[in-house]
Chain A
Amino acid sequence: MSSNNNMTLNLKIWRQKGQEAEGKLVDYRVEHVSPDMSFLEMIDVLNEQLIRKGEDPIAFDHDCREGICGMCSMMINGKAHGGYKNTTTCQVHMRLYKDGDTIVVEPFRASAFPIIKDLTVNRAGLDKVIIAGGYITANTGNAQDANAILIPKPIADEAMDAAACIGCGACVASCPNGSAMLFMGAKVSQLALLPQGQPESAKRTLNMVNVHDSLGFGNCTNHAECEATCPKGISIEHIARMNREYLKAAFTYHEKNRSEGGA
């Protein structure tokens, strides 16, 4: 770990006061950047400078700063989270850049992610996709002993690969169609792999896909930009599994109108 604060960087950062306001790239210069700083710490330093000058600091989303909460969300030089393998913006460190570099920083862009301010966007659509069925209906207190459900290790591992999604939306921002299919596929796939997820699988898949489409997320046309940019390395195989689940459900699932009256 070196401590030489020796880099000077030229930043072009998207500034936009609100959803309806017009935005533009603004030039900033940051000096004494240490290679051990995280990208967000570098922006912190810039913000402290702006505050001292009485200017409005740059608004950006961030929270855990350890790559797991999924809150940070920038396009760095045109790539979501900077485009480094398995890395969120908060885990991008300045040792990846050189003295004198120019770095362009923009918000995630997608029609389903309106800008709130500067680099902060509204990703509420992702919650809405989950609300449409991304869960197992297991009320508290009903559960049988955990080891009564045996799950082969490879299946559990694959479900975990899908479950690792942090809901950051990088897949949407990277997709030329602004699709959230990787996000949704990961959840559908996780639950379709597990025995606990079977009873609701068909209904879940149909509902989630319908809501996804209605929110302005685009369709998947196999560009695989999402997989390349996903900070958790989630594979597009999960989109394929979702598509299979969708097809199966489309042919077999019929909601029956039954009254539930009792004696």
Chain B
Amino acid sequence: MSLNLDAKVPAGDLKDKWEKHKFEMKLVNPANKRKFTVIVVGTGLAGGSAAATLAELGYNVLSFCIQDTPRRAHSIAAQGGINASKNYPNDGDSIKRLFYDTIKGGDYRAREGNVYRLAQVSTNIIDQMVSQGVPFAREYGGYLDNRSFGGSQVSRTFYARGQTGQQLLLGCYSGMMKMIAKGKIKMFNRREMMDLVTINGKARGIIVRNLITGELERYAADAVLLCTGGYGNVYFLSTNAMTSNASAAWRCYKRGAGFANPCFTQIHPTCIPVHGDYQSKLTLMSESLRNDGRVWVPKKENDTRKPAEIPDEERDYYLERVYPSYGNLAPRDVASRQAKYRYDEGKGVGPTKQAVYLDFRDSIKRDGKETVAGKYGNLFEMYERITGDDPYKTPMMIYPAVHYTMGGLWVDYNLQSTVPGLHVLGEANFSDHGANRLGASALMQGLADGYFVAPNTISNYLASTQLEKVTTEDPAFKDAEQAVILQTSKLLSIKGKRTVDDFHKVLGHIMWEKVGMARTEAGLKEAIDKIRVLREEFWKDVMVPGDTGNFNLELHKAARVADFLELGELMALDALERRESCGGHFREEYQTPDGEAQRDDENFAHAAVWEYTGTNSSPIRHKEELKFENVKLATRSYK
């Protein structure tokens, strides 16, 4: 077997590629659109915007979400903002600069053509969302306000208080509701995708579990869009929602979709630190806080004084010290790693020492409490509710946590995976962020994919592909469904002694320690061994109560953790094979004398794309070489 990794990036000048491609792609005439059905799995920014737009174009859309309503997808939790190269503040931004920042921020491991297109359509996104009534922050003159974010020296981030993701998602949701009213979207809530159905090599349907009744359901279509988010929950503790999972993408991988760069995970520097074994998730404090908050630790090791008692000369504002030009707005991977170094040096703060301060004392003194409250009030309240501390009076304590996964299913320029007809959008794909994503760029990518890219490329696929008529009676549906039934009954029949969460926590611990912020060859090999053992134990000793015929939350979790136990191993394997440091992937063996990531462009300027070869054989690592024609590869420096 092999994977076809032709990226299909159109030839020609970078800035003309997308226009040219849009003109060259085939269209489906309006009367024929209603003959096609498209499945969209997931209703976050990518899935919601794609479903609404495809329905507006005239396609019949079947939309699936895991929550009780599409308005709850985890895009909703994004706080800080969305980037767009509008250059409203007149501070030197441009499409080219956003493109360049994104390529550089991703440590030169993303595809030029895709990233340039992302920067191009970013401006349309803001226009679109405003037209739908998204209440972005405004200045007194009525114009849209901007702020700055990590990894950039311009202010290009649009925001709606600390709830930008929520407001954008509700924009997509309202677009979906409009098309549900018109009968063009059929909505299926509380459904989880259990498998992809391929017929004659093309994606033609899905098997889902109705989470209320436990029944399996079959849906057929002409194309499938996977918009199911990332796999950060492999670490058990992350900023992802509880039901965020990798199963839909993983099942597609097993059906032939290449999985690219699984080791590229983002550890976000500003999260509320872990405080107990019972903890179920981690909460992010928006990166926007670094606009006004200063990050520091005591200069002395094991300093137990209260922060207010530590005078300025005994504080190490380490981001400002190490990165004078970007300071507290150094990109995420860099800021996280620096926090870890402080912990390693014994300078961490708080009861567990796994924390650093994020201090607003100076900005409150400079701008007044009211101004600070206007920008971050809801975040400060949230912090106080969770920790019991008031950040107006005492610095926040923060520490890095798993937040986002840049890796995902491989897609070409059309966002199509290696399985024809299976298109992958948003965080679920690998396309735009390379080895590290910049803040406020996830919302941008999800909406770019869903509103402006996929609707064009899906039409091209439908217009240029021979699609046989299929029904859910096709044997391929029966086979896929049977595989799910078998797995389910196996999970229920083990009746072991350990709970699903118990296994998940052990896996998470292995991943965080060995496949986290710093990785080594020995550690990764150890992780692979341990995960294999854990997986065997899981299939012998997991305890799943109840049966299939009802709302069995433990069963749903068990199936997801079974997949995490496989994906975790692939992540470790990918990290092992990538013998360089880049972005969020930091191999201790490959660093500069001052502790920065050392890339190996000669051998690793490629996306690693993994091909599944069966339960008992190793996956095959393929490469998509990345060609940089417009950007000169340079050592990434934020100093």
Residues in A lying within 8 Å of B, measured CB to CB: 1-3, 5, 17-18, 34, 36-38, 40-41, 44-45, 48, 51-52, 54-57, 59, 61-71, 86-87, 91, 93, 95, 116-117, 120, 122-124, 126-127, 130-147, 149-153, 156-157, 159-160, 163-164, 166-167, 190-191, 194, 196-197
Q: By the criterion CB–CB under 8 Å, are A63 and B241 in contact?
A: yes
Q: Which of B164-182 contact A (CB under 8 A)?
A: 165-167, 170, 173-175, 177-178, 180-181
Asked if B605 is at the interface of the complex by the 8 Å CB criterion, the answer is: no
Q: Is the Cβ of A135 less than 8 Å from the Cβ of B77?
A: no
Q: How far is the CA of A122 from the CA of B139 in the complex (A)?
A: 40
Residue contact B167 to A163, C-beta cutoff 8 Å? yes
The 10 A-B pairs of least Cβ separation, nearest first, read: A150-B142, A135-B174, A143-B127, A143-B131, A138-B131, A160-B135, A146-B130, A156-B138, A159-B135, A69-B72
Point out the residues of chain A lying under 8 angstroms from B132, CB to CB: 135-136, 138, 196
**B135 partner, pick from A3, A63, A138, A163, beta carbons under 8 A:** A163
| Stretch in B149-157, B256-264, B533-541, B544-552 with 4+ CB within 8 Å of A | B544-552
Q: What separation, in Å, do the CA atoms of A156 and B499 have in the docked complex? A: 48
Known contacts A93-B385, A146-B126, A196-B130; A63/B280 CB under 8 A: no
Contact sample, A vs B, 5 pairs, CB 8 Å cutoff: A34-B278, A51-B543, A66-B77, A68-B165, A130-B173
Q: What chain B residues lie within 8 Å of A18 (beta carbons)?
A: 550
Does the CB pair B133–A197 fall under 8 Å?
yes
List A contacts of B163 (CB < 8 A): 68, 164
Interface residues in B494-517 by Cβ distance below 8 A to A read 499, 501-502
Tell me if B9 is interfacial: C-beta within 8 Å of chain A.
no
Nearest CB on A from B244, distance (A): 8
- Which residues of chain A have C-beta atoms less than 8 A from B546's C-beta? 56
User: Interface-forming stretch among B49-57, B198-206, B300-308, B596-604?
Assistant: B49-57
Given that A93-B386, A135-B177 are known contacts, is A142 also in contact with B131, CB under 8 Å in the complex? yes
Query: How far apart are the CA atoms of A87 and B160 in the complex, in Å?
Result: 20
User: Which A residues are CB-close (under 8 A) to B283?
Assistant: 65-66
Contact at B68–A196, with CB atoms within 8 Å?
A: no
Known contacts A38-B280, A156-B138; is-contact A56 B178 (Cβ 8 Å): no
Is B351's CB within 8 Å of the partner chain A? yes
Contact of A51 with B175 at beta-carbon distance under 8 Å, contacts A40-B280, A123-B68 already known: no
- In the docked arrangement, what's the CA distance between A160 and B163, Å? 10
Contact B275 A3 (CB under 8 A): yes
B101 close to chain A: CB less than 8 A: no
Shortest CB distance A42–B (Å): 8
User: Most chain-B CB neighbours within 10 Å: which of A123, A137, A190?
Assistant: A137
Closest residue of B by beta carbon distance from A48: B499
Chain A CB within 8 A of B296 CB: no
Q: Are A127 and B69 closer than 8 Å at their CB atoms? A: yes
Determine the chain A residues whose CB is within 8 A of the CB of B126 once the complex forms: 146
Interface 0/1 of B259-297, CB less than 8 Å to A: 000000000000000011011110110000000000000
Residues of chain B lying within 8 A (CB to CB) of residue A36:
275-276
Q: Are B243 and A70 touching (Cβ within 8 A)?
A: no
A71, B67: Cβ atoms closer than 8 Å: yes
Chain B residue nearest to A60 in the complex (CB): B553
Instruction: Apart from A57-B554, A68-B163, A152-B138, list 8 A-B contacts with CB within 8 A.
Output: A51-B543, A56-B545, A65-B280, A69-B241, A122-B68, A136-B131, A140-B128, A147-B144
Measured CB to CB, the nearest residue on chain A to B72 is A69
Report yes or no: B545 in contact with A140, Cβ–Cβ below 8 A. no
B545 close to A54 (CB less than 8 A): yes
* Known contacts A134-B174, A139-B56, A140-B128; A153/B139 CB under 8 A: yes
A133 cross-chain contacts in B, Cβ below 8 A: 181
Task: Say how far A231's CB is from chain B's closest CB, in angstroms.
Answer: 11
Chain A residues in 8 Å Cβ range of B144: 146-147
Contact pick for A124, options B69, B139, B276, B502, CB 8 Å: B69
How distant is B9 from chain A, measured CB to nearest CB, in Å? 23
Q: How far is the CB of A181 from chain B (nearest CB, A)?
A: 19
Q: Is B316 an interface residue (CB 8 A)?
A: no
CA distance A214 to B189 in the complex (A): 22
Residues of A close to B212: CB separation below 8 A: 116
A86 lies within 8 A of B381 (CB): yes
Residues 19-39 of B, flagged 1 when their CB comes within 8 A of A and 0 if not, give: 000000000000000000000
The smallest beta-carbon distance between B388 and chain A, in angstroms, is 6
A132 and B181 alpha carbons, distance in the complex (Å): 7
Contact A68 B275 (CB under 8 A): no
Question: Which residues does chain B contribute within 8 Å of A123, judged by CB atoms?
Answer: 68-69
Contact with A along B422-464 (1 / 0, CB 8 A): 0000000000000000000000000000011001000000000
Distance of A55 from chain B, by nearest CB (Å): 7
Q: In this assembly, does B255 line the interface, its C-beta being within 8 Å of a C-beta of chain A?
A: no
The minimal Cβ–Cβ distance linking A142 to chain B, given in whole angstroms, is: 7
The reply to whether A65 and B281 contact each other, CB–CB distance below 8 Å, is yes
Closest to B162 in A: A68
Report whether B387 and A1 are in contact in the complex, using a CB–CB cutoff of 8 Å: yes
| Pairwise interchain contact A144-B131, C-beta atoms closer than 8 A | yes
Query: Is the pair B551, A124 in contact by a Cβ cutoff of 8 Å?
Result: no
Q: In whole angstroms, how far apart are the Cα atoms of A138 and B178 in the complex?
A: 9
A163 and B72 within 8 A (CB) = no
B124 at the interface (CB under 8 A from A): yes
Residue of A nearest to B240 (CB): A64
Taking CB atoms, residues of chain B closer than 8 Å to A55 are 545
Q: Which B residue's beta carbon lies closest to that of A58?
A: B553
B280 touches A126 (CB 8 A): no
C-alpha gap A101/B147 in the complex (Å): 46
User: Is A130 touching B278 in the complex (CB atoms < 8 A)?
Assistant: no
* Interface presence of B88 (CB below 8 A): yes
B614 CB-CB contact with A under 8 Å: no
Q: Could you tell me if B133 and A194 are in contact, using CB atoms closer than 8 angstroms?
A: yes
Is the pair A95, B142 in contact by a Cβ cutoff of 8 Å? no
A57 with B142, Cβ < 8 A, contacts A70-B72, A136-B174, A156-B136 known: no
**A191 contact set on B, CB distance < 8 A:** 133
Residue on B nearest A40 in the bound complex, by CB? B280
List, in ascending order, chain B residues with CB within 8 A of A153's CB. 138-140, 142
Question: Closest approach, in angstroms, between the C-beta of A136 and any C-beta of chain B?
Answer: 5
B68, B174, B551: the one contacting A59 at CB < 8 Å is B551
Contact B278 A140 (CB under 8 A): no
A62 & B135 in contact (Cβ 8 Å cutoff): no
Instruction: Name B68's contact: one of A40, A93, A124, A157 (CB within 8 Å).
Output: A124
The answer to whether residues A52 and B76 also contact, given A143-B124, A156-B138 and a CB cut-off of 8 A, is no
From 68 to 109 in chain B, residues with beta carbon under 8 angstroms from any chain A beta carbon are: 68-72, 74, 76-77, 86, 88
The reply to whether the CB of B626 lies closer than 8 angstroms to some CB of chain A is no
Which of A2, A52, A68, A127 makes the CB contact (< 8 A) with B177? A127
**Distance in angstroms between the alpha carbons of A120 and B323 in the assembled complex:** 49
By a CB distance below 8 angstroms, the chain B residues around A5 are 276
Across-interface contacts of B186 in A (CB, < 8 A)? none
- Which residues of chain B have C-beta atoms less than 8 A from A140's C-beta? 49, 52-53, 56, 128, 175, 451-452, 455
Q: B170–A163 contact, CB under 8 A? A: yes
Contacts of B12 in A (CB 8 A): none
**Contact, CB under 8 Å: B280 / A146:** no
- Residue B350 at the chain A interface, CB threshold 8 Å: yes
Binary interface encoding of chain B residues 114-147 relative to chain A, with 1 for a CB under 8 A from any of its CBs, else 0:
0000000000101111111111111111111000
B610 to chain A, nearest CB (A): 29
CA distance A137 to B56 in the complex (A): 10
- Nearest B residue to A49 by beta-carbon distance? B499
Question: What A residues does B166 contact at CB under 8 A?
Answer: 68, 164, 166
What's the Cα separation between A38 and B275 when bound, in Å?
11
Q: Are B351 and A131 in contact (CB under 8 A)?
A: no
**Min C-beta distance of A155 to chain B, whole Å:** 8
Q: Which chain B residue shows the least CB distance to A191?
A: B133
Which interface residue of B71, B135, B351, B553 has the most chain A CB atoms within 10 A?
B135
**Chain B: which residue is nearest A32 at the CB level?**
B278
Report whether A34 and B276 are in contact in the complex, using a CB–CB cutoff of 8 Å: yes
Complex contacts, A1 vs chain B, CB 8 Å: 275, 350-351, 387-388
Determine how close the nearest CB of chain B comes to the CB of A60; give it in whole angstroms. 9
